[in-house]
């Protein structure tokens, strides 16, 4: 190796070492604020997304007590990620799948692309596995479902049926809300069972589903399951197998 090549290798090693040190400081909530800011600036100025983007994403894994300082640091990190455009997308997507703090990664995806890109990230980040004993993952699923309410999901909405049986009531309710907002007749049978669910644990879901059946005039698939033709006093099954409020025009 010639002198020039050795010098280039040395410079590269120096840059990588500087970025590595900056990455450690940037993700440390106990670091001196000025040091962490300087570290973030090093990462923002770096020209290799493979090194800087994953390091900058770690800044969203904690929050400072000083909300103003916290927001400024995170906005700086965002600028260092979004400057890479499409090159940053795969790394942000991967981070969204693994992190339980999704708010800022979603903001970044929105800044990097269109709503379809955000929707793709939300879908990939949902955890369809067992989360009963993992509160952080349960909370993440709930947050993701709340974001999905804003989107039309097509056939993917049917996959959310698993969350209607989640042990966490918030997750069940959010999943029901997402499916209601799809206004898709194929999803109605999955929600219909809540009409006759008397449990306290599902009272919010039952009320939401009941309101949807009345307002959207969904057709019941099993009206015979409703005793005496009334879901609750005053809400009855019509001849068209829809629900109506007694005393109001159907």
Which pLDDT band holds residue 14 (cuts at 50, 70, 90)?
low
Chain mean pLDDT for the chain:
94
Domain parsing of the chain, residue ranges: 14-108
The pLDDT, as a whole number, for residue 249 is 56
Quote the CA–CA distance of 175 and 167 in Å, as a whole number.
Answer: 12
- Smallest Cα–Cα separation from 141: which of 117, 171, 164, 172? 171
> How far is the CA of 167 from the CAs of 42, 131, 162, in angstroms?
44, 9, 11
CB neighbours of residue 16 within 10 Å: 13
| Matching residue, tokens 């206004």 | 183
- Predicted model pTM: 0.90
> How far is the CA of 32 from the CAs of 29, 66, 212, 236, in angstroms?
8, 13, 53, 65
Looking at the predicted structure, is the pLDDT value of residue 10 above 90? no
Spatial strand order of the sheet with 230-232 comes to 230-232, 235-237, 243-245
Exposed e or buried b for every residue in 60-72, given b needs 16+ CB within 10 A? beeeeeeeeeeee
Quote the CA–CA distance of 229 and 234 in Å, as a whole number.
Answer: 10
Q: Which residues pair with 235 in a beta bridge?
A: 232, 245
Per-residue pLDDT tens over the stretch 34-79: 999 999 999 999 999 999 999 999 999 999 999 999 999 999 999 9
The pLDDT, as a whole number, for residue 27 is 97
> How far is the CA of 241 from the CAs of 192, 194, 207, 211, in angstroms?
12, 16, 19, 15
Quote the CA–CA distance of 231 and 223 in Å, as a whole number.
Answer: 10
Which pLDDT band holds residue 248 (cuts at 50, 70, 90)?
confident
Q: Cα 169 from chain centroid?
A: 17
Which pLDDT band holds residue 7 (cuts at 50, 70, 90)?
very low
Per-residue pLDDT tens over the stretch 125-153: 999 999 999 999 999 999 999 999 999 99
Phi and psi at 21, nearest 5°, equal: -65, -40
Which pLDDT band holds residue 172 (cuts at 50, 70, 90)?
very high
Per-residue pLDDT tens over the stretch 84-106: 999 999 999 999 999 999 999 99
The pLDDT, as a whole number, for residue 6 is 52
Per-residue pLDDT tens over the stretch 176-198: 999 999 999 999 999 999 999 99
């Amino acid at each position: 190796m010639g002198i020039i090549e050795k010098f280039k290798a040395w410079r590269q090693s120096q840059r990588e070492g500087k970025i590595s040190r900056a990455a450690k400081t940037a993700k440390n909530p106990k670091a001196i604020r000025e040091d962490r800011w300087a570290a973030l600036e090093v990462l923002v100025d770096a020209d290799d997304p493979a090194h800087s983007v994953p390091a900058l994403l770690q800044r969203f894994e904690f929050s400072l007590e000083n909300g103003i300082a916290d927001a400024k640091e995170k906005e700086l990190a965002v600028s260092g990620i979004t400057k890479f455009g499409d090159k940053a997308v795969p790394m942000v997507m991967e981070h969204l799948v693994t992190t339980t703090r999704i708010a800022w990664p979603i903001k970044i995806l929105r800044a990097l692309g269109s709503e379809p890109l955000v929707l793709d990230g939300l879908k990939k980040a949902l955890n369809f596995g067992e989360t009963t004993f993992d509160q952080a993952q349960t909370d993440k699923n709930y947050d993701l479902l709340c974001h999905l309410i804003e989107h039309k999901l097509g056939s993917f909405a049917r996959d959310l049926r698993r969350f209607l049986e989640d042990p966490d009531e918030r997750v069940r309710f959010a999943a029901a809300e997402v499916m209601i907002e799809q206004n898709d007749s194929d999803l109605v049978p999955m929600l219909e069972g809540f009409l006759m669910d008397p449990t306290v644990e599902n009272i919010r879901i039952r009320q939401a589903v009941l309101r949807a059946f009345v307002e959207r005039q969904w057709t019941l698939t099993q009206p015979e399951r409703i005793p005496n033709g009334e879901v609750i006093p005053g809400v009855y099954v019509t001849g068209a197998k829809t629900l109506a409020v007694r005393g109001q025009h159907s």
